[in-house]
Amino acid sequence: MSSAPSISPPAARFCEPDPGSRVEVAVGGRVWLLDRAADMEALWDAMDGQDLDEDERLPYWAEVWPASVLLGRHILRNAERLRGRTCLDIGCGLGLTGMIASSVGARVAAFDYEWPAVRFARHNAALNDVPQPLWLLMDWRHPALKPGGFDFIWGGDVLYEKRFFDPLIRLFRHALAPDGRIWIGEPVRTVSRPVWERLEDEGFATEKLTVEKVALCGQNATVNLWEITIPR
């Protein structure tokens, strides 16, 4: 298994903004503009065998997920805590939460497994006139990160498959600073329920901070916001 995702020419067609696919997301009294090549379904339909591998790399990055909206709200509520602190956005997608944190003065590194996501995230930060986070192309199974380097780590809707549990737990333990905090926005779904007990078995402390309804693109979702720490 390679330590970084491959960059294949067929995916290049997914990297030009489509003005008709721009998403406007209201968080914290501001409308955030998010460009993309197309919506997820259109990109999925355009994919062929060369764009897929054993990881089933579907274009989830091209959507804005309700969990990221709730995380964005939480980031703004904690702006003073985040200012000047090192933060890691896992699975950054189109860049919403990384941009929001950067706008309040956080020192953000944000990564995704798909290079079109990283390209659009950088584009969107410029579009919204916020300081550029450090955008990284990275596989969370092989994190090229300084141990204990991040005061805050967060991710929106990253636990949608059980195979992600182990690598994410390893990433949390590797990258979180002493007394750091992890925030996970997660839709209410069955597949992720076992991970919270698993985290506690691994020595983490978990707390559900809130449950909120998020309206996005004409749909409503119920989203949990969790906080994870490592007791010392």
Please tell me which residue, 39 or 89, carries the higher pLDDT value.
89
**pLDDT class of 191 with cuts at 50, 70, 90:** confident
- Cα 219 to Cα 73, 78, 160, 169: the distances in Å are 18, 26, 19, 31
pLDDT score of 28: 93
Residue partners of 201: CB distance under 8 A and separation at least 6:
none
pLDDT score of 18: 58
Q: What is the pTM of this model?
A: 0.85
Amino acid at 106: A
Q: How confident is the model over 116-163, as pLDDT tens digits?
A: 899 999 999 999 999 999 999 999 999 999 999 999 999 998 987 788
pLDDT score of 3: 42
Please tell me which residue, 48 or 120, carries the higher pLDDT value.
120
- Cα 195 to Cα 160, 161, 165, 176, 228: the distances in Å are 11, 10, 7, 18, 11
For 12-229, CATH gives: 3.40.50.150
> Please, which residues bridge with residue 219 across strands?
216
Q: Flag whether pLDDT at 176 surpasses 70.
A: yes
Percentage of the chain lying above the pLDDT 90 cut: 64
Q: Where are the domains of the chain?
A: 12-229
Work out the average pLDDT over 112-119.
90
Q: What angle do CA 48, 41, 215 make, to 5 degrees?
A: 155
Q: How confident is the model over 55-97, as pLDDT tens digits?
A: 556 667 678 889 999 999 999 999 999 999 999 999 999 999 9
**Residue 8 CB coordination number (10 Å):** 11
User: What's the mean per-residue pLDDT of the chain?
Assistant: 86
Phi and psi (nearest 5°) for 166?
-60, -50
Please tell me which residue, 215 or 16, carries the higher pLDDT value.
215
Residue partners of 199: CB distance under 8 A and separation at least 6:
169, 206, 228
Q: What length does the chain have?
A: 232
pLDDT score of 44: 47
